[in-house]
Chains A and B, each alone.
Chain A
């Protein structure tokens, strides 16, 4: 924006056919400027590449973006005036912010898929890491552990979370309800590692210090999951119109049957979505499981005895304790990361589909 401030010139070039289009850049102008910026930047970096070194793609795009922002603002200021120039400047910035945010997502996806596919094979899903050093082996023990611990956490969290939300929406009045709402908020903010420490300390009392078991991991996950389930279910239950409850009461249906047979079925799609999203959230938790459940190289189906591995912890330990050759360990880490992401994405996708297709239609 280093232009001299000139008042918008009266149109001199093309004959004015519509006075409302006067003093305005043509619609394609931003695209033309963008193309020109890319060309200029490419030429610049091309010359740099000729003098030595390789072509710097990242630098090229950064410079092109800067050139674009400066040019479009300047041109707009000259032709359309400062107000419109500001508008174009902000539009460029806002769009830029979105593109910048897409970079990590795209980069992450490409990396996880390319590295992950190296070991995304049958052996990976049929072998544990028992007695394996170097290449080979798999993550079946971690997958089993993740399913067991997340499943147990869900078994603990869903009844407590759902009943709590029913309490808050249908019964809760006065101090206890306000207190619980507040505490759910506090619980939402518990850092995941603190949940792990809690579960560890809790089970250290019963089984002595240093014990790490699957059930401790599940408790840690449940602490993180309950507030999410409460929040989302509460929101969904509040969406059920009061008229439906009244209709049931007026038919002589007791309150609890009204809740079970009218309120819950009406909101079940939303509640399911919320629960699946909360599972997707805790299934990727690493820190609490690292602390509460530890890690192991063997299959362990017993929640109450011995350490239990999980996919996220597997990713971490494969990276952190690299052996020889390191590539074998990194490949396993990436393959586990890919598996984890696929599970999380599948849960997300199913959750959204449930919300989309099973939500009741109120017909109003």
Chain B
């Protein structure tokens, strides 16, 4: 249930503006990969190209290849909708659907696609997904209450449950803890640790401690200046990046001497 991602020489544009330039990397299945770097360096933009979510932004386009188990995402015949069913995403701010209950939120990926699902299958899926997101015990008595009534951390775990309910191969997380308090953050980090048994996980984070805690490999992105494209500076084992990076810029950034 987990796949390998290969990115070959990827450029991302917003209309004419080159936002990310020449990224090539390989992400192993069943691992956690963290993208770190200063604001505006293109790491979130790059993350979105891994499931073609950048196409939601008007004018965004890419050059290059993203292969998931050898299949090019950007082949003209590929339907982005199907890509997104394989590569799920969790956003910066928790965004449960306000019109749906907790249960409906978990089933959203199934129901919104007009798929029929029997009642018992649905109940099983809800329980499995919520347990997968470490949320089952907290919400099992109020599955029919609105999802917006939960705390921020619970909402974010609900969004993770929603993402894994469609059984993706890869889960992308765009700063999933930046809107959460430390306790909720810890819960999410524990969850990521468990999810990696089954999924390939890519996480963007501003928090370097978080990257060092949860990830196996880390990619450092940087930007030369405003108006310049973001670039992948260094990509290596997390321990190497944080203890013995090969680039000066990486060392400056991880040691807090960035300027």
Contacts and interface: CB of A to CB of B under 8 A. Distances in A.
Of the four ranges (under 10, 10 to 19, 20 to 34, 35 or more), the interface on chain B belongs to 35 or more
Interface of B: 51, 53, 56, 58, 81-86, 88-89, 91, 93, 95-99, 108-109, 111-114, 146-150, 155, 159, 162-163, 166
A245 B51 CA distance: 15
A360 B109 contact: no
B88 A251 contact: yes
A54 interface: no
Nearest to A251: B109
Given A251-B108, A363-B98, A363-B155, A257 B113 contact: yes
Interface of A: 173, 241-254, 257-258, 261-262, 265-266, 360-364
A250 B97 contact: no
Contacts of A244: 95, 97-98
Contacts of A266: 97-99
A252 B108 contact: no
A253 B166 CA distance: 11
B84 A247 contact: no
A359 to B, nearest CB: 9
A266 B99 CA distance: 6
Contacts of B114: 257
B108 A248 contact: yes
A243 B98 contact: no
Contacts of A249: 53, 56, 81, 84
A307 B107 CA distance: 53
A241 B99 CA distance: 13
Nearest to B148: A363
A252 B109 contact: yes
B95 A243 contact: yes
A364 B112 CA distance: 24
A138 to B, nearest CB: 44
Given A247-B162, A258-B112, 19 more contacts: A173-B58, A243-B91, A244-B95, A244-B98, A246-B91, A247-B159, A248-B108, A251-B162, A252-B82, A252-B113, A252-B166, A257-B112, A261-B111, A262-B99, A361-B146, A362-B98, A363-B96, A363-B98, A363-B150
Nearest to A247: B95
Contact of A241 (B88, B95, B149): B95
A364 B85 CA distance: 28
A223 B176 CA distance: 48
11 contacts: A241-B95, A242-B56, A246-B56, A247-B162, A248-B108, A252-B113, A257-B112, A257-B113, A360-B148, A361-B98, A364-B93
Nearest to B52: A249
A43 to B, nearest CB: 62
Contacts of A242: 56
Given A257-B113, A361-B98, A251 B56 contact: no
A243 B93 contact: yes
Nearest to B112: A253
B169 to A, nearest CB: 12
Nearest to B108: A251
A259 to B, nearest CB: 11
Nearest to B110: A251
CB-CB nearest 6 A-B residue pairs: A252-B85, A363-B148, A250-B89, A251-B109, A360-B98, A243-B95
A251 B166 contact: yes
Contact of A245 (B56, B81, B84): B56
B96 to A, nearest CB: 8
B158 to A, nearest CB: 11
Nearest to A241: B95
A331 B96 CA distance: 57
Given A363-B149, A363-B155, A246 B95 contact: yes
B75 to A, nearest CB: 17
Given A245-B56, A258-B112, A262-B97, A251 B85 contact: yes
Nearest to B84: A252
A197 to B, nearest CB: 41
A250 B112 contact: no
A239 to B, nearest CB: 12
Contacts of A257: 112-114
Contacts of B147: 363
Contacts of B146: 361, 363
Contacts of A253: 81, 109, 112-113
A174 to B, nearest CB: 10
A265 B163 contact: no
Contacts of B150: 363
A247 B81 contact: no
Contacts of B149: 363
Nearest to A267: B99
A360 B99 contact: yes
B161 to A, nearest CB: 12
A251 B112 CA distance: 9
Contacts of B85: 251-252
A188 B210 CA distance: 54
- Greatest chain A CB density within 10 A among B89, B98, B148, B162 is at B98
Chain A CB within 10 Å, residue with most, of B81, B108, B112, B150 = B112
A103 to B, nearest CB: 43
B87 to A, nearest CB: 8
Nearest to A260: B112
